């Protein structure tokens, strides 16, 4: 009997991925349906619906759910859900289909799913801006001048503003997990696969470390703090698409492999990957990370400094604070049961002669090596020396090899805190 936290929403794992004869039959049917080209973000969302990662969702959101989620972080039935999961189409495609029809959802020539259209609704520029303000606007300096900077500097806002004129909603039947099972064998896991692995180890209290950057010493320290108080830790990295300048998943996976092999007790650590694209929604995305981690069997999400943030749009610990402000539905099954494991800003302190945090280190900023994934990427991309204790030497070898192979450099904008201000 599993002792892991139950999936979100009270319906078990809602998996829309077809297999066997049902899959083959749906593929044949899909060949005769109108094809709708989808974005990379929608592909990741579809796969998560397929494997149960987005339980209890069974398809893309109707307008009522979209509005409720943006405004109240609740689905229409009162279930907690922090970010909209929608599918946009062009005005021409919207005119060519009608409610009640089925369509095939395609990404770069591969049919990813079929969808029963229950609703087609317009998304005006006003609607898109309203979504951006509700989901992406934070309390950092850049959000004080949100519409001056966000359309150019916030990748999540840019993505929403670039969406097409209509959304379609309805249940999906997912036909593919894309390239992830073959590209990341042993790392990419469905919620059922990860749950099985953790049940075999008899884990009950589990923490997840969310990663989109290469794993540096601060990440390692966070994972080890969690390992001290939990049965195990899942280093759960995003293997979907990122913004330009971020490091590809295959490079990050190699770095994590090296660290797990050399610096962790393997009985208490699992490396896994999930197929989403980053939305860079800061606090709201921290809640999304906790929501789908619950589906993977995780009951604690490590939340440190500027979780899922970008630029200076969010306060340093705004992602921790939002867990205290989120709605709590009356029914347990509709609540978010994955709780934050809040950890203060961590760094290497020369005087402490080790990793420390603002809670444990009494020394000043001149004694601290400030650790940040963005700062590491900037130093490596510019060929600068990486300070001692910033990253493990074995990891830096892999990252330098990657950066030396690049023919084009992308300018990396530093967040003011990551640059060392304000400590």
Please pick, among 212, 279, 305, 368, the residue that the annotation labels catalytic: 212
Annotated catalytic, 213? yes
- DSSP SS3 for 348: strand
Annotated catalytic, 212? yes
Please report, for residues 351, 388, 423, the alpha-carbon distance to residue 364 in angstroms, rounded to integers and kept in the order given: 9, 18, 8
Please tell me the distance from the alpha carbon of residue 95 to that of residue 77, in angstroms, as a whole number. Answer: 30
Cα-only R_g, the chain:
21
Please tell me the distance from the alpha carbon of residue 376 to that of residue 220, in angstroms, as a whole number. Answer: 15
Q: How many CA atoms lie within 13 A of 120 on its CB side?
A: 21
- Per-position b or e across 288-307, b if 16+ CB within 10 A of its CB: bbbbbbbbbbbbbbbbbbbb
- Helix (H) / strand (E) element for 349: namely strand 346-349
Please, are residues 347 and 369 in contact by the beta-carbon 8 Å criterion?
yes
Please, are residues 289 and 308 in contact by the beta-carbon 8 Å criterion?
yes
For the chain, first and last CA: distance in Å? Answer: 47
Please pick, among 167, 213, 295, 300, the residue that the annotation labels catalytic: 213
Active site residues: 212-213
């Amino acid at each position: 009997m599993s002792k892991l936290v139950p999936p979100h929403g009270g319906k078990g794992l809602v998996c829309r991925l077809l297999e066997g004869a049902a899959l083959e039959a749906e593929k044949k049917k899909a060949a005769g349906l109108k094809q709708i080209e989808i974005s990379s973000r929608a592909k990741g969302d579809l796969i998560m619906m397929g494997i149960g990662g987005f339980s209890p969702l069974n398809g893309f959101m109707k307008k009522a759910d979209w509005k409720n989620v943006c405004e109240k972080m609740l689905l229409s039935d009162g279930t907690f859900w922090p970010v909209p999961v929608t599918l946009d189409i062009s005005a021409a495609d919207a005119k060519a289909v009608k409610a009640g029809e089925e369509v095939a959802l395609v990404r770069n020539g591969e049919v990813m799913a079929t969808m029963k259209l229950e609703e087609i609704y317009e998304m005006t520029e006003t609607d898109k801006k309203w979504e951006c303000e509700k989901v992406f606007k934070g309390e950092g300096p850049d959000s004080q001048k949100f519409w001056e900077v966000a359309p150019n500097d916030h990748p999540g806002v840019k993505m929403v503003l670039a969406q097409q004129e209509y959304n379609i909603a309805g249940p999906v039947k997912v036909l593919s997990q894309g390239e992830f099972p073959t590209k990341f064998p042993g790392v990419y896991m469905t919620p059922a696969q990860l749950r099985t692995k953790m049940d075999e180890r008899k884990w009950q209290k589990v923490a997840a470390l969310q990663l989109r950057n290469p794993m540096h010493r601060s990440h390692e320290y966070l994972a080890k703090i969690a390992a001290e108080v939990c049965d195990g830790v899942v280093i759960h990295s995003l293997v979907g698409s990122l913004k330009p300048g971020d490091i590809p998943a295959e490079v990050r996976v190699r770095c994590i492999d090296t660290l797990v092999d050399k610096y962790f007790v393997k009985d208490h650590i699992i490396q896994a990957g999930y197929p989403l694209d980053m939305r860079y929604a800061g606090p709201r995305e921290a809640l999304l990370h906790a929501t789908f981690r619950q589906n993977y069997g995780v009951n604690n999400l490590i939340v440190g400094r500027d979780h899922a943030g970008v630029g200076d749009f969010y306060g340093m610990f705004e992602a921790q604070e939002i867990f205290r402000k989120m709605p709590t539905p009356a029914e347990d099954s509709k609540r978010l049961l994955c709780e934050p494991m809040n950890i203060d800003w961590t760094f290497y302190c020369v005087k402490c002669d080790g990793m420390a945090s603002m809670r444990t280190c009494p020394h000043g900023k001149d004694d601290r090596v400030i650790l940040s994934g963005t700062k590491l990427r900037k130093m490596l991309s510019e060929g600068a020396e990486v300070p001692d204790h910033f990253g493990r030497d074995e990891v830096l070898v892999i990252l330098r090899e990657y950066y030396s192979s690049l023919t084009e450099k992308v300018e990396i904008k530093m967040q003011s805190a990551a640059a060392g201000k304000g400590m």
